[in-house]
Amino acid sequence: MKVMAQMSMVMNLDKCIGCHTCSVTCKQAWTNRTGVEYVWFNNVETRPGVGYPRGYEDQEKWGGGWVRNKRGRLSLRSGGRLAKLSRIFSNPKLPEISDYYEPWTYEYDTLLNAPQGAHTPVAKPKSLITGKDMKISWSANWDDNLGGSAETLAEDPILQHMSEHVTTEFEKTFMFYLPRICEHCLNPSCVASCPSGAMYKRVEDGIVLVDQDACRGWRMCVSGCPYKKVYFNHKTGKAEKCTLCYPRLEVGLPTVCSETCVGRLRYLGLVLYDADKVAEAASVENEHDLLESQRSVFLDPHDPAVIEAARAEGIPEDWIEAAQASPIWKLISDYKVALPLHPEYRTMPMVWYIPPLSPVVDVVADSGNDAEDARTLFAAIDKLRIPIEYLAGLFTAGDVAPVDDVLHRLAAMRAYMRKINLGEEKDESIARAVGMTGTEIEAMYRLLAIAKYEDRY
Amino acid sequence: MTLEKPTRAPANDGPLAASLVKYGRFLRKGEVSDDFRSVFLEGGRSGDVFYRDRWSHDKVVRSTHGVNCTGSCSWKVYVKDGIITWETQQTDYPSVGPDSPEYEPRGCPRGAAFSWYTYSPTRVRYPYVRGVLLELYRAAKARLGDPVLAWAAITDDPESARKYKSARGKGGLVRATWQEAAEIVAAAHVHTVKRYGPDRVAGFSPIPAMSMVSHGAGARFLNLVGGSILSFYDWYADLPVASPQVFGDQTDVPESADWWNSSYLIMWGSNVPVTRTPDAHFMTEARYRGQKVVTVSPDYADNTKFADEWLAPHPGTDGALAIAMGHVILREFLVEQKTPRFIDYMKRYTDSPYLVTLDDNDGCLVPGKFVTADVLGSDVENAAFKTVLLGADGEPVVPNGSLGHRFSESDEGLWNLDLGDVDPLLSIADSPLATETAEVVLPRFDLAPEVGREHAGGAGTITRGVPATRVAGRLVTTVFDLLLAQYGVGRDGLPGEWPTGYDDASSPGTPAWQEEITSVPAAKAERIGREFAENAEQSGGRSMILMGAGTNHWFHSDTIYRAFLALTTMTGCQGVNGGGWGHYVGQEKVRPITGYSQYATAGDWNRPPRQMIGTAFWYLATDQWRYDGLPADELASPLARGKFADRTTADCLVESAKRGWMPSYPTFNRNPLDICDDADAAGIPVADYIVQSLEDGSLAYACEDPDSPENFPRVIDIWRANVLGSSGKGNEYFLKHLLGTDSAVRANEVGPDRRPRDMVWHDDAPIGKLDLLMTADFRMTSTTLFSDVVLPAATWYEKYDLASTDMHPFIHSFNPAIKPPWQTRTDFDLFKTLAEEFSALAETHLGVRRDVVAAPLQHDTRDALATPHGRVVDGAPAVPGLTMPKLIVVERDYPGLAAKWGSLGPLATKLGMTTKGITYDPTPEVEKLAHVNGVVPSGPQAGRVRLDTDVRVCETILALSGTSNGRLSVQGFRQLEKHTGQRIAQLAEDHEGSHITFPDVQARPVSVITSPEWSGSEHGGRRYTAFTINVEHLKPWHTLTGRMHFYLDHDWMEELGENLPVYRPPLDMHRLFGDARVGSTAATGAPGSAGHAEVAVRYLTPHSKWSIHSEYQDNLFMLSLSRGGPTIWMSPQDAEKIGVRDNEWIESYNRNGVVVARAIVSHRMPEGTVFMYHAKDRTVDVPRTETSGLRGGIHNSLTRILLKPSHLVGGYAQLSWAFNYLGPTGNQRDEVTVIRRRSQEVVY
């Protein structure tokens, strides 16, 4: 056992209001400068939708992440290091600016400086790349709130892989938001892709960084990352990425995106894991086993053997305590309501998500049942407005069972707490039905609903 | 770093690749994982320095955003090397308690992007004047040697006036010095006051709560001048007129943390994640407590994501859905089951047990007037305002707490809701005495218009029976019985037409009936109605409706909202934490209201201020009335008694002004300063002189002839606002008639048959009424683009100020992160400059004058007793303050204006400060302020408290308000105790010694003190919700009965058929104005449309995700995250009809103007309805249109002001005017527009 500490995040998508405050505060703090105009370390996608950069989840096109080869080993999907070296000067798997978007500004100064003329002055759009007039036709968030669904929805890679047909009927509309930052993976394919050794994971907290002095701008990391969360600064010629705000973490502050999240849906904390088990866990044959294999890499911070091993690795005492207090461990391993994003990329991502519980009661009610009754509520989980298969396509490599379990737990929490809210008897059977106790549900409720600052970070 | 041989096989690639990695780790000091999977690095991270440097900063300053979103979020502003870098949210709000989510972090992406403005290229850095005007001014001044004479010369000369007015909005702004710009502005003010009168100067600045000092500084200046301050809440159509109608209160709602206490939440036309971004989490989190969430929205709105149920009625039909839900609740919970909690609540807190006469109307019976004590033959004080109910024994009783008890000295201690031993009869049917039944005829508006009689709309009647009895010889019933009849809830033995069941669509009120109107399945409406009530019963009233612009911006929103409020009232949810209404659109809560009002109105020097209903001002000033001609009787009930016959809604406005119901400025067709002089010369009191002159015809009201030059508004000052790019309904009419520049107005003026009866028609419409448009802003908007003078304002990160909101219970501060850069000035300093310049010019041109203010009959005063029984009598003698406005003479010390502006006047202590009928004596506070602020050392105001800096004004506002000063709060409560005979002051007594100071709110947001200024309580750390003081301490509502009203008995309410909640559909714009019918694809023949498919659609302007009104819609971050310019959302079906694809350019046009935008085609939109999100200004990425050849318009280029007569009622109980409390709304949701795909080649 080699105990290491990883700073990780869980986002509760069920609470995300899609406001993009995280994107703006992150942009302002980190990428509001030339060379990275198009870069959003943190972005928020409307799902279903094509994401940013456009269609990044289509690994057959972009070749990011790992694949398990016949020998049971992992290799970079875009080819091993040798292959990369062979085409270091021309990387065909690199998204172009149009896949992100052509950043622009406007002739704002016209508004003040226009001479007396025949028409009201206006600020027309100008490309930030070429400086020329442009018609704006794509952005980092073009399909926000299903905008342009008729045109682009079919390009969503998840929809393309679903067996269930998703229609674009008004009555059946659904959407939710997916905020994304770098996953700070345990098995980062970007790091493995870098020919210069410029990318690394910090020993103490697992944050994945680009050494700005060492980066040579080969951009293999951009291709290698299946989440497309490494970007190229076209001014400095170096790669840049989400730093998990380490300058803030180092002084005890949560990341900018976490602290400014007005949906209060981000949890930040240390997880202890066994570094010796990562490769094995990432290499399990069946993609549906990846969730459980990644969970098995995490170490119980309350286990005396783990604590001892952690001390032996030189992990400071306060870090061990932080891991014990971490909301991440609770959400991933105790309550089992958080799931990884695209485990099938085999990078062992460390930003996990609680899937959204979408409107369900109307479906139940339409079938003539009591909409607030806990049992009928569970029965209807597979009739959610958001198709469960879609969520499985994001979080469990298509395996609907774990998603189903999470949504049952969230629904059970609502049913259980409603009784308390209305001053009725606690109903332990609701908790039992989802494999929890009432006490556990109440603790989970406090973490998810009351979610005080000190409990989130 | 380990160089030992790896103990494990390579985890990836294979041996060759592994050797590469092994090689690499010698080049680089790092730790490669044992399986060569990853590289770990420790120490020596010089490559990380960049990010650490970027995060560093010199200081963090607390401030907020003075933007009209009601967020009122506290922010950290980061400063490095004297430059503002970015902002993140503060997280240090006082705790809500251990079992609730907290307010941290409050904010949204708009706010997070604010600092962009500080150094952006759209920042106004210097004073600007349009070059044409500046040249004219300099030449005239050189010629005449005097600024005021120069201004007079330019504006008097038609040629020069036309020259600079027609240049408005077409560029050519040039830099001027502060001295010169201020001189021009001051000269225009002085000249206008002298020539036309002070009420020809108007000021517009909305939402004081979002920066009280910045608002107050300008308002104080204008109030000392005697200018007209324009209202905004009603103008924005954010005022829910139903609130004064039902509650006698402007708007009072729960803070957002109280949503957490609700166990059933309906979001009805309120898209919480977008428009209440910082508060939305209370909703998402409350679901985990088992709160059920329902959304009602015609589109798949953002909040639908969180909803357990989504109801999608057709736009504007929400009232029908609410009526049907009410039908279910009344039947199941108040008739079939007599739910004790609901019955008791209805008896105590609503007008439902009160008696209403049944009157003859052309041979049939209709609901009439409330029975009052005078009807019973009583001659007690104010008997006509003491309403009557029946006790359990069936005998009439006059309970405490009605309006009649409020203003009668003999009733001291009786203005309360204590029913004593009286158990009111809710229904006459329950009377032990003799009863009968009566058939009443009720109006309905839901019918399809008869062929050939389309002009009459869908109005009709329905006959239903009520139990009745005789009181004092009159046939009477209760409001409750009428309510059941109105909602179609039949009972055994009653005559009339009743539905056979919920599935009977033929009879108004049922779930099936609403389905035909709204498309919401009947079973769903039935179930949601039942659940709402069941939850209210189970939870003790914790069912809540959040309502917003989606339902409040309609012409008939007052009826929609009354149907909503009926739901929360009949289920006993008002005044309960977690229950009741939450009106969340534009509601603003200046928590320290008394101190703020004293400062802003300059009530310490002069009373009353001239406060004008904004909608009426703009309607007349921009000549929209010339195109309107809406016959008032087209809106009337079939049972109307003809009071609106042959009259337009504009005539109703004139009548309302002349009766003193609503304010009207400019008031008379002569300068009020001259009127005073003339009265003096004639040797008679000014008021008598005015009455005489009106009677002999030598004087008239300006609103009767708004197009005569002496009645034009001449100067408008705008700050903290963007009328021309955002709120200005009928934008193109503003450009044409008020400003005199190019416009895309497409309508024709009305012909002689539709002209107002009581207004003067000039064949030639005025072009360019306004002499000066002055705007202070920090960014370029349509308003600055069209202004004559643009003054550079400091941003919200560059000044001291105060902020508060409905959404949370804290007061917090603005603080400068940097000093105002370039030549910018805070609003406070800017108006100080103007005041000084004005005073200097006034020395020679004005001196000390007397002014006469025509003040309307005011809510919360005895004026509310002016109209017994709401009976509108014609031909009554003109008595100021009774049948016409009060006429109050005010001294204007113009040369001394600046000195008064900067010091606290004597009236605050001499007359006290009155808020909602309670007068506060601030004598000890003023003594303290003399030490905190210091006193004026010399000059005319020597010894008075200094108000010459923004911080001193902040201290003064906090010292003079009950919410921030416990002593004043307790004093107010003790007055209320005397008045009501109830013990209430304990709500503030534990804070009697508390006083929130400005340093307190600079340190962190501070919770307010419970105060009689508001209707709820924060006592003991509880969450604020409205009306808990009424419910728990038996303090009456400020209404006729003292209870919440289902029934309104004013004559005009009867004319409109709106005595009771009733469904009124959206206006039929085709019938009323000849617009295309929704869904029509007929060719319009509009310029450029030939050969293009067109479709007519409902045009809605909901609040945007990427802006707060027009603020931020020009911000590069918001533009980058959205589509980067004006867009119109439409359904794939409508897009297909006109052959348009996503992101293609389209034009949208109707009689009012034209808009050019790009289409966003999405299946979340319903067919037949498009959204152009509010508020798209014309400043960014707006090409010229094919339709007009001009720059495309703003979202309000397709709208126009329409007046509803019920909003104009005044002088009667809760239907009495107060500023931003009652007035015609600037509604804009009923519009229809035609859309076509245009040429994809656009020209800017």
Per residue in B686-735, pLDDT (tens digit) is: 999 999 999 999 999 999 999 999 999 999 999 999 999 999 999 999 99
Pick the CATH number of B128-238+594-680+707-795+825-870 from 3.40.50.2300, 3.40.50.11540, 3.40.50.10490, 3.40.50.12770: 3.40.50.12770
Nearest to residue B1157, comparing CAs of B1168, B1148, B1169?
A: B1148
User: Which of B13, B38, B312 has the CB atom closest to A81's CB atom?
Assistant: B13
Asked if residue A15 is part of any domain, the answer here is no
User: Which of B48, B102, B290 has the CB atom closest to A417's CB atom?
Assistant: B290
Residue entry with tokens 């044992």: B34
Q: Do A116 and B1121 touch (CB under 8 A)?
A: no
Nearest to residue B817, comparing CAs of B44, B274, B158, B75?
A: B75
| Structural contact between residues B1012 and B962, judged by C-beta atoms closer than 8 angstroms | yes
Task: List the 138-167 stretch of A: residues with Cβ below 8 A of B.
Answer: 139-142, 144-152
Task: List the 271-290 stretch of B: residues with Cβ below 8 A of A.
Answer: 273-274, 277-278, 280-281, 284-290
pLDDT in tens, B158-178: 999 999 999 999 999 999 999
Residue entry with tokens 């008739």: B335
Q: Which positions ≥6 away from B851 have C-beta within 8 Å?
A: B198, B226, B672, B673, B676, B889, B890, B891, B892
Quick check: helix, strand or coil at residue B187?
A: helix
Q: Do A123 and B122 touch (CB under 8 A)?
A: yes
Q: How far, in Å, CA of A285 to CA of A73, rounded?
A: 10
Residue B747's pLDDT band, with cuts at 50, 70 and 90, is very high
Asked if residue A430 is part of any domain, the answer here is yes
pLDDT at residue A368, as a whole number: 58
Q: How far, in Å, CA of A162 to CA of A109, rounded?
A: 49
Q: How far, in Å, CA of B267 to CA of B306, rounded?
A: 10
pLDDT at residue A250, as a whole number: 93
Q: Do A260 and B112 touch (CB under 8 A)?
A: yes
pLDDT at residue A327, as a whole number: 97
Q: Do B88 and A256 touch (CB under 8 A)?
A: yes
Task: List the 91-130 stretch of A: residues with Cβ below 8 A of B.
Answer: 103-106, 108-109, 111-112, 114-125
For residue B1202, pLDDT beyond 50: yes
Two structure tokens written together for A258: 């976490």
pLDDT in tens, B1082-1106: 999 999 999 999 999 999 999 999 9
pLDDT at residue B448, as a whole number: 86
Q: Do A28 and B112 touch (CB under 8 A)?
A: yes
For residue B34, pLDDT beyond 90: no
Judged by a CB distance cut-off of 8 A, whether residue B1132 touches chain A is yes
pLDDT in tens, B907-927: 999 999 999 999 999 999 999
Q: Identify the H or E element spanning B598.
A: helix B593-600
CATH number at residue A419: 1.10.3650.10
C-alpha B152, offset from chain centre? 36
pLDDT in tens, B964-1020: 999 999 999 999 999 999 999 999 999 999 999 999 999 999 999 999 999 999 999
Two structure tokens written together for B684: 């008679």
For residue B631, pLDDT beyond 90: yes
For residue B302, pLDDT beyond 50: yes
Residue B611's pLDDT band, with cuts at 50, 70 and 90, is very high
| Structural contact between residues A79 and A188, judged by C-beta atoms closer than 8 angstroms | no
pLDDT in tens, B143-152: 999 999 999 9
pLDDT in tens, B223-258: 999 999 999 999 999 999 999 999 999 999 999 999
* Residue of chain A with shortest Cα separation from B1129: A147
B266 contacts in A (CB within 8 Å)? none
Residue A384's pLDDT band, with cuts at 50, 70 and 90, is confident
Q: How far, in Å, CA of B200 to CA of B709, rounded?
A: 11
pLDDT in tens, A100-110: 999 999 999 99
pLDDT at residue A366, as a whole number: 63
Asked if residue A370 is part of any domain, the answer here is yes
Average pLDDT over residues B490-515: 97
- In angstroms, what separates the C-alpha of B253 from chain A's closest C-alpha? 22
Asked if residue A220 is part of any domain, the answer here is no
Average pLDDT over residues B461-486: 98
C-alpha B484, offset from chain centre? 32
Judged by a CB distance cut-off of 8 A, whether residue A432 touches chain B is no
Q: How far, in Å, CA of B1156 to CA of B1173, rounded?
A: 13
Average pLDDT over residues B729-753: 97
| Separation in Å, CA B1108 to CA B726, B1125, B1155 | 10, 15, 20
Strands A199-202 and B39-41: parallel
For residue B1123, pLDDT beyond 80: yes
pLDDT at residue A166, as a whole number: 82
Q: Which positions ≥6 away from A304 have C-beta within 8 Å?
A: none
Q: How far, in Å, CA of A114 to CA of A248, rounded?
A: 44
Q: How far, in Å, CA of B916 to CA of B44, rounded?
A: 68
| Separation in Å, CA B271 to CA A18, A391, B274 | 12, 25, 6
DSSP lists the bridge partners of residue B201 as B715
Q: Which positions ≥6 away from B743 have C-beta within 8 Å?
A: B732, B733, B735, B736, B1153, B1190
Q: Which positions ≥6 away from A318 have C-beta within 8 Å?
A: none
Q: How far, in Å, CA of A373 to CA of A357, rounded?
A: 16
Sheet with B83-89, side-by-side order of all strands: B59-63, B75-80, B83-89
Asked if residue A177 is part of any domain, the answer here is no
pLDDT at residue B451, as a whole number: 78
Average pLDDT over residues B42-67: 86
Judged by a CB distance cut-off of 8 A, whether residue A251 touches chain B is no
Counting residues of chain B whose pLDDT is more than 70, the rounded percentage is: 96
Judged by a CB distance cut-off of 8 A, whether residue B917 touches chain A is no
| Separation in Å, CA A318 to CA A207, A273, A315, B206, B1234 | 18, 16, 8, 52, 66
| Separation in Å, CA A165 to CA A160, A190, A398, B264, B1166 | 9, 34, 15, 33, 21
| Structural contact between residues B766 and B737, judged by C-beta atoms closer than 8 angstroms | yes
Quick check: helix, strand or coil at residue A145?
A: helix
Asked if residue A210 is part of any domain, the answer here is no
For residue B60, pLDDT beyond 80: yes
Query: In which domain, by residue range, is A451 found?
Result: 355-457
What ipTM does the predicted assembly reach?
0.97
- Burial environment of residue A424 by CB neighbours within 10 A (0 to 12, 13 to 18, 19 or more): exposed
For residue B26, pLDDT beyond 50: no
Residue B9's pLDDT band, with cuts at 50, 70 and 90, is low
| Separation in Å, CA B767 to CA B199, B257, B712, B723, B1177 | 20, 50, 11, 19, 23
Quick check: helix, strand or coil at residue B364?
A: strand
Task: List the 284-343 stretch of A: residues with Cβ below 8 A of B.
Answer: none
For residue B837, pLDDT beyond 80: yes
Nearest to residue A445, comparing CAs of A432, A425, A424, A431?
A: A431
User: Which of A121, A139, A278 has the CB atom closest to B1120's CB atom?
Assistant: A139
Q: How far, in Å, CA of B1193 to CA of B975, rounded?
A: 53
Residue A360's pLDDT band, with cuts at 50, 70 and 90, is low
- Burial environment of residue B1243 by CB neighbours within 10 A (0 to 12, 13 to 18, 19 or more): exposed
| Structural contact between residues A255 and A7, judged by C-beta atoms closer than 8 angstroms | no
Q: What are the boundaries of each domain within chain B?
A: 1-56, 128-238+594-680+707-795+825-870, 242-325+518-583, 899-1015
Rg (CA), chain B: 31
What CATH code is assigned to B242-325+518-583?
3.40.228.10
Q: Identify the H or E element spanning B23.
A: helix B15-27
B312 contacts in A (CB within 8 Å)? 170-171
Q: What is the mean pLDDT of chain B?
A: 95
Strands B1127-1130 and B610-612: unpaired
The amino acid at residue B423 is D
Strands A339-340 and A351-354: antiparallel
Task: List the 649-688 stretch of B: residues with Cβ below 8 A of A.
Answer: none
Judged by a CB distance cut-off of 8 A, whether residue A422 touches chain B is yes
pLDDT at residue B450, as a whole number: 79
C-alpha B353, offset from chain centre? 32
Two structure tokens written together for B1041: 């009965």
pLDDT at residue B24, as a whole number: 44
- In angstroms, what separates the C-alpha of B14 from chain A's closest C-alpha? 8
pLDDT in tens, B768-814: 999 999 999 999 999 999 999 999 999 999 999 999 999 999 999 99
Residue A165's pLDDT band, with cuts at 50, 70 and 90, is confident
Average pLDDT over residues B1112-1132: 97
Task: List the 189-218 stretch of A: residues with Cβ below 8 A of B.
Answer: 191-192, 197-204, 209-215
Judged by a CB distance cut-off of 8 A, whether residue A371 touches chain B is yes
Number of domains in chain A: 1
pLDDT at residue B2, as a whole number: 36
Judged by a CB distance cut-off of 8 A, whether residue B1125 touches chain A is yes
Asked if residue A360 is part of any domain, the answer here is yes
pLDDT at residue A159, as a whole number: 93
Average pLDDT over residues A112-135: 97
- Burial environment of residue A163 by CB neighbours within 10 A (0 to 12, 13 to 18, 19 or more): exposed
pLDDT at residue A374, as a whole number: 57
For residue B219, pLDDT beyond 90: yes
Backbone angles phi, psi at B1101, to 5 degrees: -125, 70
DSSP lists the bridge partners of residue B848 as B893
- Burial environment of residue B770 by CB neighbours within 10 A (0 to 12, 13 to 18, 19 or more): buried
Nearest to residue B462, comparing CAs of B479, B449, B445?
A: B445
Q: Identify the H or E element spanning B297.
A: none
Average pLDDT over residues B412-422: 97
The 3-state secondary structure of B193-259 reads HHHCCHHHEEEECCCHHHCHHHHHHHHHHHHHHCCEEECCCCCCCCCCCHHHHHHCCCCCCCCHHHH
Quick check: helix, strand or coil at residue A121?
A: coil
* Residue of chain B with shortest Cα separation from A123: B1180
**Max Cα separation, chain A?**
80
pLDDT in tens, A403-443: 999 999 999 999 999 999 999 999 999 999 999 999 999 99
| Structural contact between residues A392 and A400, judged by C-beta atoms closer than 8 angstroms | yes
Asked if residue A283 is part of any domain, the answer here is no
With vertex at residue B67, the alpha carbon angle to CA B61 and CA B68, rounded to the nearest 5 degrees, is 150
Quick check: helix, strand or coil at residue B1030?
A: helix
For residue A89, pLDDT beyond 80: no
| Separation in Å, CA A110 to CA B120, B123, B177, B1114, B1242 | 12, 12, 21, 13, 18
pLDDT at residue A371, as a whole number: 55
Judged by a CB distance cut-off of 8 A, whether residue A253 touches chain B is no
Average pLDDT over residues B588-616: 97
pLDDT at residue B449, as a whole number: 82
DSSP lists the bridge partners of residue B1180 as A123
Q: Which CATH class is domain B899-1015?
A: mainly alpha
pLDDT in tens, A224-280: 999 999 999 999 999 999 999 999 999 999 999 999 999 999 999 999 999 999 999
Two structure tokens written together for A388: 């469960």
Give, as one character, the DSSP assignment of residue B523.
Answer: H
Q: Do A168 and B47 touch (CB under 8 A)?
A: no
